[in-house]
Every structure is written in structure tokens, then in C-alpha cells.
């Protein structure tokens, strides 16, 4: 007990020293990760540069605009360009006689990027996006079916009612409150507070010696089913995909849906949860072999006891014991061929078999 | 303005259905009357063509007495009797026809319209829906008349949500008349009546509610909002008026819808439907703890309503009472076996309970229930 009290008193001091700034001022700062790093360094330091941490980027911190100051694409009668002067990228479309130019404020995505544009008080999804796979612009995923009738329509797709809340709600922090959009106060990307509701209050309370009483819920304690639904708030839950009727290769992007379709998915087995394989605070691991241990936690030899306990009745692969994901979670391209995802429906893939819905 | 009223236009229905069926009959039945009947048939046909309905009915009646296995005779007899308002004999004649030609959509539809007139509402709804499924609504005019009667019957039988879905078809297609607005109002205000049964004191309320809903479906949400505000001012205590607006708003603005449902509960605290929708809106906001008291109240008031069991089951499951939640979800499933939302909730509940195979079974059922509903993804 004495030790606990002692820790309570020391903790705020550690927070202040580690953050190097006044805690109250940090709480008001748009990105609290550096302040959180005072106590949670291994999570908070790398997280801001992950794909989720950079789910949205301001123009001045977006490396794409520095490395690609001029991007162009001609599509039918329209020519698109994204040109950056200083720190201000401008999205333009012209039909040769007239040009519409809009400043880019919100870039969605770290690798592939789509821009949300403001025109006449309305929000639009840019008609073209940047794709690393071609190192250039191409029509935004899902918009190839659109046929602009004039230059105004060629700018992009007007977001439907409620859609901005969905887009900004996932790609930034603090953009949506009680269903209302707050574009002036949002923090770009997924910050600590996005997933750990109450993180800011917890940090301030820590300064007052209340760190333990105000800690946000420990998400590691959630069941695999609950974690899928938690991550699925943005990556789409199984329910969302089913309700929406999305079928075919396009749904490979919705990992919680695909994972739950796997024979091996068990909502109470921690070895198959999202966070069993992915640490959301770290850069995404892309080497297949680095996931082998996760697969072998269930599919190891019968004689081996699974790490962390639990049953071990899963079949053992007769073909290989390495690079499991390369066969059992094949890469699937979106129909536009511009983005590729590992299919999270873990399965024995038979040659020539259609993509399973 | 297009008329789709029941009785005055029924003859129009008849003519359309007769036309449809006349072109379809010979192929469908493939039967030719015996030679000794030919004179009788020729006379009946001539009377029908001359629009001498009493004579035609008499001759067709004699013809089917001579040969009860002659389906065309039963069809003409039934359709002509319907045209003269003889609904009971028309229904019976059409039943003979359907016995011999069981895939005759127009005959089912026309028998349903007969039953609508004789007050056999459950049978009428079944027959009209069967007729539609067999192609009787394959022309715009037929579709309007059959859908209108289908929705009238759904309202009369208390299936208001289905009726509203059917009525939205008219607004989206620009079909409007005073009868339709009153009919929409009845479904919206959840009154199990036909427009002809609305008392003089309620006609204005019913029509105003229908008009506001019609404007909403027609896409004029500003005008609809004004119409609803006027409705609320003129009839501040009218049950289900706020519920109707909430129902319409729910798909595009669930927060505004939630406010309307809560407003409804202030006016009518024992409105179980409003409790269900309030709980559902809160569940979709991930506010299960807030949803729970509404769900409990709904299930206590209407324990046999599947949606009440569903929201209670989900609320309990999502607030940590998995066992209690599963029990109510299984009740909901028993009451309504094909509800997608119940299967979705059960899949989650079984999964959280470690019942992997049950969860998998429910997931497969959900995928089956939604197969063919594919939509394109419109955002990155």
C-alpha cells in the first residue's frame, strides 16, 4: 500500500519530466502522444507515425507533398493536378477552358491518399487519389463508376449527409461529438484519445495524483469478438459489412469481417484477436514470416503446448511451417488493381477457387 | 393526379387484369371447350364484348355448370362478377380457377381484391402478395393499384412498418391523391383502420401526417420538416406523430430520430414501439447502458413483439449479461425466425460466449439472408 501511494506521488513528476512541458498545456495540445509517452513510451512514441497515427495529415507535415510537388493525371476531358508551393498543396481540375482550384486541407491516408475538399460550404471526396503502387494519381477507389457531367462534378464526389462524420471520425480524433462534425478542433490521425477514451482526462488527473483511478479501460482485456468490433468501428465490423451487402474482392479491406469468416475464429480465444497479431502502436509488420509465431500458437505440433495456454486441437500444416500467411492469407487486389490487402479470411486456398464471400 | 382508390377504380383493375389475362389465358390453360358448349361460349363472349355484364355472367355461369373443368369460364365469370360488385361469388369463381391454374398471378390478385371488399383482410393480403409475386404487378398501373391495396391491408392488420415501406413507393414515383395521403397518415400514426373508417374528427390529423410523410419521401426534407412542425403544433398530443417523424429520419439522421422517439415517449410513455426504437438508436450509438431501461420497458409491455426481445437481448449482451442477453435473443428468434438483426446479434452473443459453432451457423445464416443485396462501395 505504501509503495502504491509512493508511486502515485512520483508518477506526475515523471510525466512532467518526460514530456518536458507543463502537463496542462500538453493536454490542450493537438497531439497528446508525446505527453502520454511520459508513462507509456513504448506505445506513444512510435504510434504517431503508424498508418493509423497518420490516418489524416496536415499539408505541412505530409511528406507526399514534399516528395511529389507536382502530380498530374488526364482522365477523359479533364486534367487533374496537385501542386505544392511552400506548404500549401492545391488540387485543380481543368477542362481546358475553365479551371477549379481548391486548397488541400485534409489528406486521408499515409500511403495511398485521398483528399477531402471544401467547395461552396460542402465537402467533396477528391475524384483522384495518390497510389504508391503506381506512384501517381488515379481515380479514387469506388469512383470509377462516376461520369462527371461538367467541371464542377469532375472535382469529386459530394459527401452524403452523415458521411463526413464517418470519414473524419475514423481518420482523425475529436472531429465528431454527439453526431456533429467539428472540423476546427480535430486532431489529425488516430491519437491516444481516439481509442483510449478518457486518455486526456487521465493525463491531467495523473498530475493530481489520480492516475490509477482514472485510467481508461484496458482494451487488452476485451475478448477477441469485442476487439474485432472495437477495431471494426473503423475497419468495419462483421455486422456492418453484412448489413451493407458488400460482397466480392472489395470486402478484403474489411479485416474484422474477413477474420470472423475464418473457420478458426473463436470470439473467446485471444490467439485469434486483432491485437494477437497487430500492435496498433507500432508500424505495421509487412513480412509474412514475422507472423508465423502467431499461426503456430494454434497450429503447432500436438506435442507442443500453446503459448499462453488454451487448447491446441488445430490442424498442423503438412506443407510448410513458415510463411503461413503467404498461402493461407493470400494477397488480394482491389478490383481497380491499385491496392493489395492480405485476406484475413484464414483458410486452405484451393487453386482456381473463387474468392469466398 | 392519379386515382388508385379501391372501389371506384376496381373496374379499371378488372379491365387491366382481364386484358393481361386474356393474352395469357390460352397459353396458360391450353384447354378448349367441348363442341356442345361452343354456342353457349360464343353467346357469353358476345355478351361480354357488348358489355352486357348480367347476360354474360348468366351465360358463363351456365357454361361452367356444364363443364366445371373449364378454367377460362371460371376466370371470365369471376372477373365479371367482380366488376358488378358481386364479390363473394367472384371470389368463389376465382378460387375454382386458381385450383386449376395455380400460378395465375392476376387471379390471385383479383381474388385478393374481392376479399378486400368482403372484409377478409388476412386472406386478401396473402392473395394480393401472392399475385404480385406471380407477376400481376408487371404493369405500372396494376402495380400501383395492387401495392396501394397491399399497404391498406398491412395497415389494417397492424403491420405499419411494411405499409410505410410500400407507401414510400408512391411518393418516390410522384403518385399522389387525398386518399393516398390519408392512407399514409393511418400507417404513420399506427391506426389499424382503412381510410373510409376514419371519423370526421380525425381526418385532418390523418391527412396532415400523411402529407408530411409524403413530402419527406418525395425528397423535400425542408418542406417535410415544416409540415411536421405544423402537425406537432396543431395536434400536440397526437400519439405516434413524433414516432413517425423519427421513423423517417432514422436512416439519415439517427440523432434527430432519437430526439423524436424520446419526444414521443413524453407524450405517450407507454408506447412500446417508441421504447424499442429509442433503445435501438442508442444501441447503434454504442450506448447499451442507456438503451437497457428502454428495452426492458418495451419487453415488459410487449413481450411477444420480436423487436422488443431483440433490443433487450442486445442491451443485456452489450452491458455484460451474456446469459440474459442470449435468452432474450433466442426468444426474438423464436418469434421471428428470419430477422437479420436477430441473427447478427446471436452471432455476436454466441461468439462472445465461446460457442464457436453456433456463432458460425448464425453467421452463415446472415450471409444467406443478405445474399444478392450487394452494393458497390462508394468511398475509399
> Given pLDDT bands bounded at 50, 70 and 90, which one contains residue A19?
very low
pLDDT of residue B337: 93
Could you read off the pLDDT of B348-357 as tens digits, one per residue? 999 999 999 9
Evaluate the CA torsion angle B375, B378, B379, B380 in order and state its sign. positive
Cβ within 8 Å, pair A178-B255:
yes
* Chain B interface includes A83 (CB < 8 A): no
A172: which strand partners?
Answer: A188
Query: In chain A, which residue's Cα lies nearest the Cα of B282?
Result: A178
- Residue pair A137/A73 in contact (Cβ under 8 Å)? The answer is yes
User: DSSP strand E in A59-103: where?
Assistant: 70-75, 78-85, 88-94, 99-103
Give me the interface pTM, i.e. the ipTM.
0.82
B-chain CB neighbours of A114 within 8 Å are: 380
- Between chains, do B376 and A250 touch, taking CB under 8 Å as contact? yes
Reference B352, options A165, A31, A268, A76; nearest CA is A268
A117, A156, A160, A238: best to mutate for the B interface, most B CBs within 10 A: A238
What is the pLDDT at residue B22? 45
Instruction: Tell me, yes or no, if A138 comes closer than 8 A to chain B by beta carbon.
Output: no
Contact B353 A268 (CB under 8 A): yes
Please give the Cα distance from A242 to B374 (Å, whole number): 9
Count of alpha carbons within 13 angstroms of residue B207, beta-carbon side: 12
pLDDT at residue A30, rounded to an integer: 43
Kindly report the nearest CA distance between residue A6 and chain B, in angstroms.
34
**Which residue is it, cell 508551393?**
A85
Q: What is the per-residue pLDDT for B187?
A: 97
Compute the distance between CA of residue B275 and CA of residue A350 in angstroms, rounded to an integer: 49
Which residues of chain B are within 8 Å of residue A162 when distances are taken between CB atoms?
252-253
For B45, other C-beta atoms within 10 Å of its C-beta total: 16
The residue length of chain A stands at 357
Do A274 and A228 form a contact (C-beta atoms < 8 A)? yes
Q: Residue B36 half-sphere exposure, CB side, CA atoms within 13 Å?
A: 4
User: B136, exposed or middle or buried, with CB in 10 Å at 0-12, 13-18, 19+?
Assistant: buried
Q: Cα-Cα-Cα-Cα dihedral of A245, A246, A247, A250, to 10°?
A: 180
Residue-level pLDDT at B296: 98
DSSP letters, B319-333, are: TT-HHHHHHHHHHHH
* CATH architecture of residue range(s) B1-153: Alpha Horseshoe (1.25)
The CA dihedral of A101, A105, A110, A112, to the nearest 10 degrees, is -20
Q: What is the pLDDT of residue A305?
A: 56
The angle at the Cα of A183, spanning A181 to A186, to the nearest 5 degrees, equals: 100
The torsion region of residue B187 among left (phi > 0), alpha (psi -120 to 50) and beta comes to alpha
Residues in chain A closer than 8 A to B370 (CB atoms)? 242-243, 245
Q: C-alpha B273: how far from its chain's center?
A: 18
- What count of Cα atoms within 13 Å lies in the side-chain half-sphere of residue A138? 15
B254 near A CB under 8 A: yes
What is the per-residue pLDDT for A237?
95
Q: Which residues of A202-222 are buried (b: 16+ CB within 10 A; e: fewer)?
A: bbbbbbeebbeeeeeeeeeeb
Which 26-85 residues of chain B touch chain A by CB within 8 A? none
Structure letter (DSSP) for residue B317: H
Please enumerate in sequence order all residues whose Cβ is within 8 A of that of A182, keeping only pairs 6 or more positions apart, or say none: A174, A175, A176
**Lowest mean pLDDT: which of A72-86, A103-117, A308-322?**
A308-322
DSSP result, B26-67: HHHH-----GGGHHHHHHHHHHHHTT-HHHHHHHHHHHHHH-
CA distance B340 to chain A (A): 8
Interface contact flag, B380 A125, Cβ < 8 Å:
yes
Q: Which residues pair with A94 in a beta bridge?
A: A79, A99
Strand partners, A340: A333
For residue A85, what are the β-bridge partners?
Answer: A88
| CATH fourth-level superfamily of B274-370 | Tetratricopeptide repeat domain (1.25.40.10)
Q: Are the C-beta atoms of B110 and B21 separated by less than 8 Å?
A: no
- Separation in Å, CA of A247 to nearest CA in chain B: 6
CA triple B166-B372-B137, angle to 5 deg: 35
B349 CB-contact burial (10 Å; exposed 0-12 / middle 13-18 / buried 19+): buried
Give residue-wise pLDDT tens across range A313-340: 788 898 998 999 999 999 999 999 999 9
Q: What parts of chain B have a pLDDT lower than 70? A: 1-36, 372-380
Nearest by CB to B380, which of A142, A161, A239? A142
Distance CA A275, CA A271 (A): 9
User: What pLDDT, on a 0 to 100 scale, did the predictor assign at position B39?
Assistant: 84
Determine if residue B119 is left, alpha or beta; phi over 0 gives left, psi from -120 to 50 gives alpha, anything else beta: left
Taking CB atoms and an 8 Å limit, are B378 and A268 in contact across chains? no
The more confidently predicted of residues B16 and A357 is A357
Residue A84: which residues within 8 A CB-CB, separation 6 or more? A59, A65, A66, A68, A69, A70, A90
Give the SS3 label for residue A279. Answer: coil
CA B217 vs CA A175, B225, B248: distances in Å: 30, 12, 8
Categorize the per-residue pLDDT at A14 as very low, low, confident or very high, splitting at 50, 70 and 90.
Answer: very low
Closest by Cα among A118, A120, A94, A119 to A106? A118
Q: Establish if B353 touches chain A: CB-CB under 8 angstroms.
A: yes
Residue A268 near residue A225 (C-beta atoms within 8 A): yes
Q: Among A3-12, A67-76, A177-186, A290-299, name the one with the lowest average pLDDT.
A: A3-12
Burial of A262 (0-12, 13-18, 19+ CB in 10 A): middle
Q: What are A160-167's contacts with CB under 8 Å, separation 24+?
A: A161/B252, A161/B253, A162/B252, A162/B253, A163/B379, A164/A116, A164/A123, A166/B379, A167/A108, A167/A116, A167/A125, A167/B379
- Angstrom distance (rounded) from CA A82 to CA A64: 11
Q: What is the pLDDT of residue B32?
A: 55
In which residue ranges of chain B is CATH 1.25.40.10 found? Answer: 1-153, 274-370
Condensed to tens digits (0 to 9), the pLDDT of residues A117-164 reads: 999 999 999 999 999 999 999 999 999 999 999 999 999 999 988 899
Taking an 8 Å cut-off on Cβ atoms, the answer to whether A109 and B380 are in contact is: yes
Amino acid at each position: 500500500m505504501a509503495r502504491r501511494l509512493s508511486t502515485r506521488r512520483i508518477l506526475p513528476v515523471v510525466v512532467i519530466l518526460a514530456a518536458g512541458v507543463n502537463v496542462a498545456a500538453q493536454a490542450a495540445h493537438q497531439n497528446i502522444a508525446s505527453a502520454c509517452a511520459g508513462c507509456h513510451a513504448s506505445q506513444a512514441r512510435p504510434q504517431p507515425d503508424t498508418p493509423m497515427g497518420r490516418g489524416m495529415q496536415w499539408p505541412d507535415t505530409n511528406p507526399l507533398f514534399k516528395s511529389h510537388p507536382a502530380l498530374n493525371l488526364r482522365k477523359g476531358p479533364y486534367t487533374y493536378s496537385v501542386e505544392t508551393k511552400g506548404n500549401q498543396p492545391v488540387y485543380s481540375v481543368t477542362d481546358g477552358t475553365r479551371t477549379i482550384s481548391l486548397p488541400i486541407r485534409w489528406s486521408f491516408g499515409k500511403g495511398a491518399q485521398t483528399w477531402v475538399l471544401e467547395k461552396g460550404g460542402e465537402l467533396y471526396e477528391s475524384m483522384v487519389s495518390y497510389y504508391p503502387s503506381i506512384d501517381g494519381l488515379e481515380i479514387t477507389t469506388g469512383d470509377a463508376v462516376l461520369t462527371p457531367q461538367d467541371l464542377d462534378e469532375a472535382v469529386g464526389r459530394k459527401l452524403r449527409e452523415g458521411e463526413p462524420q464517418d470519414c473524419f471520425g475514423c481518420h482523425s480524433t475529436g472531429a465528431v461529438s454527439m453526431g456533429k462534425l467539428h472540423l476546427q478542433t480535430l486532431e489529425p490521425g488516430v491519437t491516444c484519445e481516439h481509442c483510449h477514451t478518457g486518455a486526456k482526462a487521465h493525463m491531467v488527473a495523473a498530475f493530481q495524483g489520480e492516475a490509477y483511478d482514472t485510467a481508461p479501460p484496458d482494451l487488452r482485456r476485451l475478448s477477441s469478438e469485442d476487439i474485432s468490433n472495437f477495431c471494426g468501428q473503423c475497419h468495419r465490423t462483421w455486422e456492418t459489412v453484412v448489413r451493407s451487402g458488400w460482397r466480392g474482392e472489395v470486402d478484403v479491406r474489411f479485416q474484422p469481417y474477413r477474420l470472423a469468416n475464418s473457420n478458426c475464429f473463436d470470439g473467446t480465444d485471444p490467439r485469434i484477436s486483432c491485437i494477437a497479431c497487430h500492435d496498433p502502436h507500432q508500424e505495421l509488420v509487412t513480412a509474412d514470416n514475422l507472423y508465423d509465431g502467431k499461426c503456430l500458437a494454434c497450429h503447432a505440433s500436438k506435442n507442443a503446448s500453446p503459448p499462453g495456454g488454451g487448447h491446441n486441437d488445430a490442424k498442423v500444416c503438412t506443407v510448410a511451417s513458415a510463411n503461413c500467411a503467404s498461402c493461407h492469407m493470400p494477397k488480394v487486389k482491389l478490383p481497380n488493381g491499385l491496392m493489395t490487402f492480405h485476406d484475413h479470411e484464414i483458410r486452405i486456398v484451393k487453386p482456381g477457387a473463387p474468392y469466398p464471400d | 393526379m392519379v386515382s388508385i382508390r379501391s372501389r371506384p377504380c376496381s373496374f379499371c383493375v378488372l379491365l387491366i387484369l382481364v386484358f393481361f389475362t386474356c393474352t395469357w389465358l390460352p397459353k396458360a390453360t391450353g384447354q378448349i371447350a367441348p363442341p356442345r358448349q361452343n354456342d353457349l361460349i360464343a353467346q357469353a363472349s358476345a355478351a361480354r364484348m357488348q358489355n352486357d355484364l348480367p347476360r354474360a355472367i348468366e351465360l358463363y355461369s351456365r357454361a361452367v355448370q356444364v363443364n366445371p373443368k373449364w378454367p377460362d369460364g371460371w376466370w371470365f365469370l369471376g372477373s365479371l362478377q367482380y366488376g358488378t360488385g358481386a364479390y363473394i361469388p367472384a371470389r368463389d369463381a376465382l378460387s375454382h380457377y386458381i385450383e386449376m391454374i395455380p400460378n395465375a398471378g392476376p387471379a390471385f390478385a383479383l381474388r385478393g381484391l374481392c376479399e378486400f371488399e368482403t372484409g377478409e383482410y388476412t386472406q386478401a393480403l396473402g392473395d394480393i402478395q401472392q399475385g404480385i409475386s406471380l407477376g400481376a404487378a408487371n404493369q405500372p398501373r396494376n402495380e400501383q393499384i395492387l401495392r396501394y391495396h397491399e399497404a391498406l391491408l398491412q395497415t389494417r392488420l397492424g403491420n405499419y412498418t411494411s405499409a410505410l415501406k410500400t407507401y414510400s413507393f408512391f411518393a418516390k414515383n410522384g403518385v399522389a391523391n387525398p386518399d393516398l395521403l390519408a392512407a399514409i397518415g393511418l400507417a404513420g400514426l399506427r391506426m389499424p383502420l382503412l381510410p373510409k373508417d376514419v371519423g370526421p374528427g380525425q381526418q385532418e390529423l390523418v391527412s396532415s401526417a400523411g402529407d408530411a410523410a409524403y413530402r419527406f419521401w418525395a425528397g423535400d426534407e425542408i418542406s417535410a420538416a415544416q409540415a411536421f412542425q405544423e402537425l406537432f403544433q396543431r395536434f400536440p398530443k397526437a400519439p405516434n406523430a413524433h414516432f413517425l417523424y423519427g421513423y423517417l429520419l432514422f436512416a439519415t439522421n439517427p440523432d434527430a430520430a432519437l430526439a423524436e422517439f424520446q419526444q414521443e415517449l413524453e407524450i405517450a410513455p407507454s408506447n412500446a414501439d417508441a421504447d424499442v426504437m429509442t433503445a435501438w438508436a442508442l444501441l447503434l450509438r454504442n450506448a447499451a447502458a442507456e438503451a437497457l431501461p428502454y428495452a426492458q420497458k418495451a419487453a415488459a409491455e410487449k413481450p411477444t413483439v420480436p423487436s422488443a426481445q431483440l433490443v433487450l437481448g442486445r442491451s443485456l449482451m452489450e452491458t455484460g449479461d451474456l446469459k440474459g442477453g442470449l435468452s432474450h435473443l433466442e426468444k426474438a428468434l423464436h418469434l421471428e425466425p428470419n430477422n437479420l438483426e436477430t441473427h447478427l446479434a446471436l452471432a455476436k452473443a454466441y461468439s462472445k460466449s465461446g460457442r464457436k459453432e453456433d456463432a458460425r451457423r448464425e453467421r452463415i445464416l446472415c450471409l444467406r439472408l443478405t445474399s444478392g443485396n450487394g452494393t458497390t462501395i462508394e468511398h475509399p
